[in-house]
């Protein structure tokens, strides 16, 4: 670790927790907050975070690599609502949206929600930078139930959007696959038809080995076409996505 980090950790080691360590990840943020330590990609903290987390494997994880990392934690915090924010701001959540469709991908977003679990109209930019005096808290059963309802609602909306976005792409891919493979199949069929025509009209026998090779190629192309169409249909029908709240900050007036 750097000297600054060593001094900071030594200073807080004798204090009662929890301790919040403010830092920045980009040079733009570092210029705006010179009092915070800049953590670059090669910093020991970042390198440590890149290592697999030991623990119980998460076999239901959506993305490859998450299974070995284990079940990710969800942090519950409290903080004062920034004065510049809307009075309706009740909760800040950090969400991970993992989708397993044509490709696996994950998006992380921060949302400010009202007391009903709906996103506030004017979302603050980079809300995590405005939160101060953070401290851990123990959510009540009612809070947990409300969070689950909110996540279920957001999951439904996001999944509908993902299907609407993916639908036209899958239609285009299906059309392109059918066009490409049927074109290859028709070319092979035409060669066989030409050979049989010459055999019938010009008394030129068809080479049996050549004919067997062409028929095998046509059969293989049909199988490949069916497999690709079936794969696209499985993506359309079995689109899977997971919405997880990694950080939940309850705002106090």
Query: Do 155 and 200 lie in a common domain?
Result: yes
60 occurs within a structural domain: no
In tens, the pLDDT along 1-58 reads 455 666 777 777 777 666 677 777 777 887 888 877 777 666 655 555 554 444 445 5
Paired with 100 in beta bridges are 104, 240
* 35 and 100 assigned to the same domain: no
How far apart CA 235 and CA 243 sit, in angstroms, is 18
Q: What is the pTM of this model?
A: 0.58
94 and 155 both lie in a single domain: yes
Which residue segment(s) compose the domain that 33 sits in? 1-51
Same domain, 102 and 214: yes
Residues 144 and 102 in one domain: yes
Question: pLDDT tens across 83-96, in order?
Answer: 889 899 999 998 88
Question: Do 19 and 140 sit in the same domain of this protein?
Answer: no
Determine how β-strand 23-24 pairs with β-strand 37-38: parallel
Q: Are residues 78 and 197 in the same domain?
A: yes
What Rg do the C-alpha atoms of the chain give, in angstroms? 29
Domain contains 13: yes
d(CA 166, CA 237) in angstroms, rounded, equals 11
């Amino acid at each position: 670790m750097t000297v600054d980090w060593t001094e900071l950790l030594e200073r807080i080691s004798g204090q009662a927790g929890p301790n919040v360590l403010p830092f920045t990840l980009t040079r733009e943020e570092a210029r705006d907050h010179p009092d915070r330590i800049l953590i670059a990609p090669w910093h020991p903290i970042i390198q440590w975070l890149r290592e697999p987390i030991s623990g119980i494997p998460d076999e239901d994880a959506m993305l490859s690599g998450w299974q070995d990392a284990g079940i990710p934690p969800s942090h519950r915090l409290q903080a004062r609502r920034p004065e510049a924010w809307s009075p309706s701001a009740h909760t800040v959540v950090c969400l991970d949206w993992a989708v397993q469709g044509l490709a696996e991908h994950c998006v992380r977003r921060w949302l400010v929600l009202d007391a009903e679990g709906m996103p506030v109209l004017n979302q603050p930019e980079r809300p995590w930078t405005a939160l101060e005096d953070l401290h851990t808290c123990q959510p009540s059963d009612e809070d947990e139930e409300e969070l689950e309802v909110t996540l279920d609602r957001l999951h439904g909306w996001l999944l509908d959007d993902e299907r609407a976005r993916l639908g036209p792409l899958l239609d285009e891919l299906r059309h392109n696959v059918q066009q490409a493979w049927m074109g290859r199949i028709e070319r092979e069929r035409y060669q066989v038809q030409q050979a049989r025509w010459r055999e019938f009209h010009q008394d030129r026998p068809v080479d049996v080995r050549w004919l067997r090779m062409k028929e095998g190629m046509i059969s293989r192309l049909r199988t490949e076409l069916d497999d690709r169409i079936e794969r696209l249909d499985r993506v359309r029908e079995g689109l899977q996505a997971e919405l997880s709240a990694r950080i939940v900050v309850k705002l106090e007036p």
